[in-house]
């Protein structure tokens, strides 16, 4: 009997499919990691097996840093033996980790990294979100057509590939409409923006566009309002964490930013079910990154099921052939050549200290 027990327990240890989740659980953008993790945990509860085996998600913290992202994915693959990786969240970290995924021929699916370089030239890296040429264009279209802005100061976080790219795509389209741009720089972790803000005021900016992440966006908003700036504050999906409001308070009221999802704008039947299940489990409404984390997990598991094997190379091929996948954040088709998805852009605002749905800009309208 002891022998049988030993056999059974060693077998059940063996019969586990390991999926890595490479996330910024600590450090500068830790709010993002936590939101994605919540989405993955919910998805795991709903679909906890694949190919008849139990799924184990192995979490790896990148500390919000590129070198740790690269080290972390290597550890997931070499030490933990994961057959696929969900991650990273921010583009710079996904670019660093993606190089390793590519070398080791293990598929990586980013829930949320929008810079084109994340998947460019790669076979093993894909994503379930749109990319920044689309996002930057959408933000410029909204600024010009809806808000009638003609003069904008763009604040770029020069340490983040995401911010550098998004700034450029915004500026390109904004200038096409004859808009005037002043571009200024800052760095992740900066907390003092008065030099840039006094330049923006002198320029006569009607909008300050901050293309980085929530911490700095919140601080820019506070300091801009304290200096008497009355114009619009705009941002990209990097604003999309509840911490923006926790840190920014009243200063972020009325901000507009582009993103991927809001529970008040469900796009698929999965969007609704996901939002209900999320509220039930966590007692709060889901954020964009939880929806995207949920989708990345579900898509990876679906690809493993379709590949009918745990061989990473074949799973990568299966990921690249997924079409019309019904996710919480929308319908996902992974382009076989680029690994990218094309989805509509959602615009949110902050109203009474809550994220509120403002508009959807369809991808098709942004050509
Ligand atoms: N798009 C951001 C990046 O590439 C990450 C992000 C997506 C953050 C969605 C918040 C919400 O760095």
- The pLDDT tens digits of the residues spanning 312-336 come to 999 999 999 999 999 999 999 999 9
Cβ atoms within 10 Å of 351's Cβ, excluding its own: 12
Instruction: Name the residue of 66, 69, 89, 288 whose CB sits within 8 Å of the most ligand 1 atoms, as the mutation to test its pocket.
Output: 89
* Mean pLDDT across the chain: 96
The verdict on the CB of residue 240 being under 6 Å from ligand 1 is: yes
pLDDT at 76 over 90: yes
The Cα 11–Cα 126 span in angstroms is 33
Spacing, Cα 291 to ligand 1 middle (Å): 13
The residue among 272, 236, 298, 258 whose CA lies nearest residue 111 is 298
* Ligand 1 atom at shortest distance from the alpha carbon of 161: 12
pLDDT at 12 over 60: no
Spacing, Cα 15 to ligand 1 middle (Å): 34
The Cα 240–Cα 131 span in angstroms is 16
Token duo for residue 164: 């550098």
CA–CA distance from 306 to each of 51, 309, 329 (Å)? 9, 8, 21
pLDDT at 3 over 80: no
First CA to last CA across the chain, in angstroms?
A: 68
pLDDT at 275 over 60: yes
pLDDT, tens digit (0-9, with 9 covering 90-100), for 214-227: 999 999 999 999 99
pLDDT at 66 over 70: yes
Question: For atom 5 of ligand 1, which residue has the closest CA?
Answer: 90
pLDDT at 9 over 70: no
Residues β-bridged to residue 109: 86, 126
pLDDT at 134 over 60: yes
| pLDDT, average across residues 294-307 | 98
- State residue 367's pLDDT score: 79
């Amino acid at each position: 009997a002891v022998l049988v027990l030993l056999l059974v327990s060693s077998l059940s240890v063996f019969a586990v499919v390991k999926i890595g989740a490479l996330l910024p659980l600590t450090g500068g953008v830790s709010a993002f990691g936590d939101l994605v993790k919540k989405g993955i945990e919910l998805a795991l509860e709903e679909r906890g097996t694949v190919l008849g085996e139990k799924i184990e998600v192995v979490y790896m913290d990148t500390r919000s840093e590129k070198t740790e992202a690269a080290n972390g994915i290597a550890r997931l693959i070499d030490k933990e033996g994961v057959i696929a990786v969900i991650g990273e969240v921010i583009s710079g970290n996904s670019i660093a980790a993606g190089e390793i995924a590519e070398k080791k021929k293990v598929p990586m699916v980013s829930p949320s990294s929008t810079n084109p370089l994340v998947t460019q030239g790669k076979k093993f890296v894909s994503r379930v979100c749109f990319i920044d040429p689309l996002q930057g264009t959408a933000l410029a279209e909204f600024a010009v057509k809806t808000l009638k802005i003609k003069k904008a100061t763009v604040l770029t976080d020069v340490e983040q590939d995401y911010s550098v790219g998004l700034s450029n795509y915004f500026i390109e389209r904004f200038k096409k409409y004859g808009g005037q741009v002043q571009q200024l720089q800052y760095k992740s972790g900066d907390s003092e923006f008065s030099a840039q803000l006094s330049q923006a005021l002198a320029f006569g900016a009607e909008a300050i566009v901050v293309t980085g992440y929530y911490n700095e966006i919140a601080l820019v908003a506070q300091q801009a309002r304290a200096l008497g700036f009355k114009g619009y504050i705009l941002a990209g999906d990097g604003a999309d964490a509840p911490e923006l409001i926790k840190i920014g308070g009243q200063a972020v009221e009325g901000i507009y930013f582009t993103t991927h999802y809001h529970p008040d704008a469900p796009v698929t039947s999965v969007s609704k079910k996901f939002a209900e299940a999320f509220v039930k489990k966590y007692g709060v409404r889901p954020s964009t990154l939880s929806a995207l984390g949920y989708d990345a997990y579900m898509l990876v598991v679906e690809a493993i099921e379709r590949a009918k094997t745990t061989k990473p190379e074949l799973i990568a091929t299966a990921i690249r052939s997924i079409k019309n996948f019904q996710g919480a954040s929308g319908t996902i088709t992974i382009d076989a050549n680029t690994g990218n998805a094309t989805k509509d852009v959602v615009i949110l605002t902050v109203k009474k200290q809550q994220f509120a749905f403002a508009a959807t800009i369809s991808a098709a309208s942004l050509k």
